[in-house]
Amino acid sequence: MEIRALRPSDDRSAFQSGDEALDRFFHRYAGQNQFRHYLGVTYVAIDGDRVLGFATVAPRHIDIEDLPERARKKLPHYPIPVLGLPRLAVDKSAQSMGLGAQLLRFVLKLASKIADDVGCAGVVVDAKPGAIDFYSKYGFTPFEPLEGQSEARPRPMTMWLPIQAIRTAAEPGH
Ligand SMILES: CC(C)(COP(=O)(O)OP(=O)(O)OC[C@H]1O[C@@H](n2cnc3c(N)ncnc32)[C@H](O)[C@@H]1OP(=O)(O)O)[C@@H](O)C(=O)NCCC(=O)NCCS
């Protein structure tokens, strides 16, 4: 299994995560967005010629007014560049085997490299209600305080992980 950028020749048609919107995006739009419009890049976890998971990333910016008070400190009052992770999914056949975590770690490493190359303050995700706990596990925090049960929240929850936290977590012994 390797994680690499999607290629035009990759067969995307058999992928099924169980989330209809994510699957439709991967089948129909991931290729044209990347190869024709340059809107983002989809990284695939691929075993032989089978795609087992994907993570789509794209540049994004955030306004510091959206961040919690404590995260605003020392940040300037203009849009802050971050790496967006709008989509992450694992094929049903490979779920609960650590692949989602591997794809996420790949994206965090990519953000750390982008931070050195062009600037990037962190990674931002729009977590669906069922995935909020998944991202929390890796240190992502919501832009707004969580109120009540996540199941009660119909909209995705914007969450972020600053580069400093990504680097601290990557330090040996952490
Ligand atoms: C959510 C998803 C990406 C997780 O990928 P996965 O490969 O099944 O997860 P992993 O096996 O890497 O799990 C890593 C850890 O996260 C936990 N986890 C996985 N899915 C979780 C979820 N939905 N909520 C909370 N925790 C979750 C696992 O229990 C595991 O914990 P552990 O290390 O303590 O054992 C995958 O299940 C999926 O594609 N689901 C459908 C689409 C979706 O909801 N995508 C999120 C888009 S916002």
Q: Which residue has the least CA distance to atom 24 on ligand 1?
A: 134
Whole-model pTM: value is 0.94
Q: Which CATH number goes with the domain that contains 86?
A: 3.40.630.30
3-state secondary structure of 128: coil
Q: Is 143:158 a contact under the CB 8 Å cutoff?
A: yes
pLDDT tens string, the chain, 174 residues long: the values are 999 999 999 999 999 999 999 999 999 999 999 999 999 999 999 999 999 999 999 999 999 888 878 888 888 889 999 999 999 999 999 999 999 999 999 999 999 999 999 999 999 999 999 999 999 999 999 987 655 545 565 788 999 999 999 999 888 887
Q: Which atom of ligand 1 is nearest to 95's Cα? A: 8
- Residue 97 Cα, ligand 1 centroid: separation in angstroms? 9
Structure tokens at 129: 């209600």
Look at residues 52, 125, 138, 123 and name the one whose alpha carbon lies nearest to residue 86: 125
Domain count, the chain: 1
Domain range for residue 74?
2-170
